Amino acid sequence: MTDWTSDIPAESGADADGPAPVIPLDDAAILKRCREGEVAAFGQLVHKYQDRLFNAILRMCGNRDDAEELCQETFVKALESLGRFREDSGFYTWLFRIGMNLTISHRRRGGRVKFHSLEPAGQDDGTSRSAAVLADQRGLDPAEEVARNDADRRVLEALAELAEDFRAVVILRDIEDMDYEQISRVLDVPVGTVKSRLYRARCMLHEKLKDTLA
């Protein structure tokens, strides 16, 4: 996946021929450094969250190139808007809110997307998870692996057919493992609405996949 920190200037004292050392600071400390003018510190937040954000956006838009652009745009907007971030919610939640809003707007402008395989052949960096790939698959024989891969594909296709509002809650809850309050903040809807949408989304997925689950 593209490294969006490549254009961020190296921190003072870093080796010009290698990456700057990553200091294990919490988000609030990193944000404080950013606001004090250390733009390079924002790269630590990018490294920390880019894989999870990219995965969620990819599941929403269904196209790897679009997901790359939307993820990059999310980080750019977050960096530009740091002065307006009140920290009443976590940076992670705020970042996902920006990303989900951009992605939902993108999908609504472009209409329904055609489903594409979300995992390119021969590429698995260990960071991607889908609603269908939540169990350990080690030890499967070839026939079982083919069947599991086909089931995974059908689940992702069914997920791609859901309307944006329903798809988002499934991704945030069942893939990102956010709690209801976090999802409420990301989508800017009441917790009750999150629960209702999630129930309906799961019912729709079950209906679409009932022959697979039988």
Phi-psi region of 38 (alpha: psi -120 to 50; beta: other; left: phi over 0): beta
Where does 141-214 sit in CATH, by number? 1.10.10.10
Domain ranges within the chain, ordered by starting residue: 20-113, 141-214
**Does the pLDDT value for residue 139 go beyond 70?**
no
User: Could you give the CA distance from residue 160 to residue 114 in angstroms, rounded to a whole number?
Assistant: 8
| Burial classification of residue 33, based on how many CB atoms lie within 10 Å of its CB (0-12 exposed, 13-18 middle, 19 or more buried) | middle
pLDDT in tens, 59-84: 898 888 999 999 999 999 999 998 88
20-113 CATH fold: Rna Polymerase Sigma Factor; Chain: A (1.10.1740)
**Does the pLDDT value for residue 12 go beyond 60?**
no
**Does the pLDDT value for residue 38 go beyond 60?**
yes
Tokens coding 185: 């903040």
pLDDT in tens, 92-136: 999 999 999 999 988 777 644 443 333 433 444 433 333 333 334
Tokens coding 14: 């870093």
Confidence of residue 13 (pLDDT cuts 50, 70, 90): very low
Say whether 141-214 and 20-113 share the same fold.
no
Report the percent of the chain where pLDDT is more than 70. 68
Average predicted confidence (pLDDT) for the chain: 77
Tell me how far CA of residue 93 lies from CA of 90, 99, 172, 183, in angstroms.
Answer: 5, 10, 10, 8
Alpha carbon dihedral 71, 73, 74, 78, in 10-degree steps, equals 140
Cα angle for residues 195, 199, 203 (degrees, 5° grid)? 170
Report the percent of the chain where pLDDT is more than 90. 41
What pLDDT, on a 0 to 100 scale, did the predictor assign at position 88?
73
What pTM value is reported for the model? 0.69
